């Protein structure tokens, strides 16, 4: 059973113009897909090929001789979570349970927005900006390269923004702050965040 590229939860034109169809086409069709192709090649004829993605990540994380497998498996997981973190017409301040938790743990939506932006923009080089729940409390954390909070003891992920340059360079060039602002204001799927609270 080979690892597969998950379908996007929307059409590749649906996030346009916040994220263009060109970016989605390359990001999902080339980058995300390449991680799947690489992982299948690297795990071919190995017991890892029969395991779940989560199990492959858990088994290879922190092992110097498995770093290639880890990087590709973790990038597949992170990208799938990123696509689910967005929707057409999303973003802005959430209401309901998520809105209440944000007010409780950050003080206000604006304070959350500032914290998420500062953390995501401040990730040096490639990586990810996350909203997590850790010990019952919402937090914002960043991870570098392929790392993710779920397997690093940083909390259960609720949503993520990809801050690798390939996520925004076509649409925003070097302006990562503008991309993160657009993600927060126009794309975040708060329904997905709520679904991850459990
Ligand atoms: Mn990416």
Render pLDDT for 123-172 as a digit per residue (tens, 0 to 9). Answer: 999 999 999 999 999 999 999 999 999 999 999 999 999 999 999 999 99
Q: What is the reported pLDDT for 1?
A: 63
Identify which of 167, 124, 122, 158 has the alpha carbon closest to the alpha carbon of residue 28: 167
What is d(CA 65, CA 59) in angstroms, rounded to the nearest whole number?
Answer: 12
Given a contact cutoff of 8 angstroms between Cβ atoms, the answer to whether 183 and 91 are in contact is yes
Buried (b) or exposed (e) across 47-58, using 16+ Cβ within 10 A?
A: ebeebebeebbe
Measured at the CA of 69, the angle between CA 21 and CA 133, to 5 degrees, comes to 70
Measured at the CA of 186, the angle between CA 21 and CA 119, to 5 degrees, comes to 100
Ligand 1 centre and the CA of 141: distance in Å? 17
58 phi, psi to nearest 5 deg: -60, -40
Q: What is the reported pLDDT for 198?
A: 83
Query: For residue 12, is it within any domain?
Result: no
Given a contact cutoff of 8 angstroms between Cβ atoms, the answer to whether 86 and 183 are in contact is yes
CATH number at residue 168: 3.55.40.20
What is d(CA 180, CA 142) in angstroms, rounded to the nearest whole number?
Answer: 13
117/45 same-domain check: no
Ligand 1 centre and the CA of 99: distance in Å? 27
Q: What is the reported pLDDT for 90?
A: 98
60/119 same-domain check: no
Ligand 1 centre and the CA of 104: distance in Å? 31
Q: What is the reported pLDDT for 153?
A: 97
Ligand 1 centre and the CA of 65: distance in Å? 24
Ligand 1 centre and the CA of 130: distance in Å? 14
User: Cα separations (Å) of 118 from 40, 66, 81, 129, 152?
Assistant: 36, 32, 21, 9, 21
105/192 same-domain check: yes
Ligand 1 centre and the CA of 39: distance in Å? 16
Domain assignment of residue 135, given as a range = 96-197
77/131 same-domain check: no
Query: For residue 117, is it within any domain?
Result: yes
49/114 same-domain check: no
Please state the domain count of the chain.
Answer: 2
69/117 same-domain check: no
Residues of the chain with pLDDT under 70: 1
CATH number at residue 31: 1.10.287.990
Identify which of 167, 190, 173 has the alpha carbon closest to the alpha carbon of residue 25: 167
Of the candidates 30, 54, 84, which is a domain's last residue?
Answer: 84
Point out which residues pair with 132 in neighbouring strands. Answer: 139, 157
125/68 same-domain check: no
Ligand 1 centre and the CA of 30: distance in Å? 10
Q: What is the reported pLDDT for 121?
A: 98
14 SS3 class: coil
Of the candidates 84, 105, 128, which is a domain's last residue?
Answer: 84
User: Can you point out the beta strands (E) in the chain?
Assistant: 127-134, 137-144, 156-162
Ligand 1 centre and the CA of 166: distance in Å? 6
């Amino acid at each position: 059973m080979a690892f597969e590229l998950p379908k996007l939860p929307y059409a590749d034109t649906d996030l346009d113009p916040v994220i263009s169809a060109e970016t989605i086409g390359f990001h999902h069709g080339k980058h995300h897909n390449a991680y799947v192709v690489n992982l299948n090649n690297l795990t071919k004829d190995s017991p890892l090929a029969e395991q779940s993605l989560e199990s492959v990540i858990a088994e290879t994380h922190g092992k110097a001789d498995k770093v290639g497998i880890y990087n590709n498996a973790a990038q597949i997981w992170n990208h799938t979570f990123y696509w689910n973190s967005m929707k057409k017409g999303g973003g802005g301040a959430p209401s309901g349970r998520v809105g209440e938790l944000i007010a409780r743990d950050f003080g206000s939506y604006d304070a959350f927005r500032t914290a998420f932006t500062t953390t995501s923009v401040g990730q040096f080089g490639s990586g990810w900006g996350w909203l997590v729940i850790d010990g019952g409390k919402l937090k914002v954390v960043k991870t570098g390269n392929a790392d993710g909070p779920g397997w690093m003891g940083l909390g259960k992920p609720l949503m993520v923004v990809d801050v690798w340059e390939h996520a925004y360079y076509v649409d925003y060039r070097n302006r990562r702050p503008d991309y993160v602002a657009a993600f927060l204001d126009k794309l975040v799927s708060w329904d997905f965040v709520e679904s991850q609270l459990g």
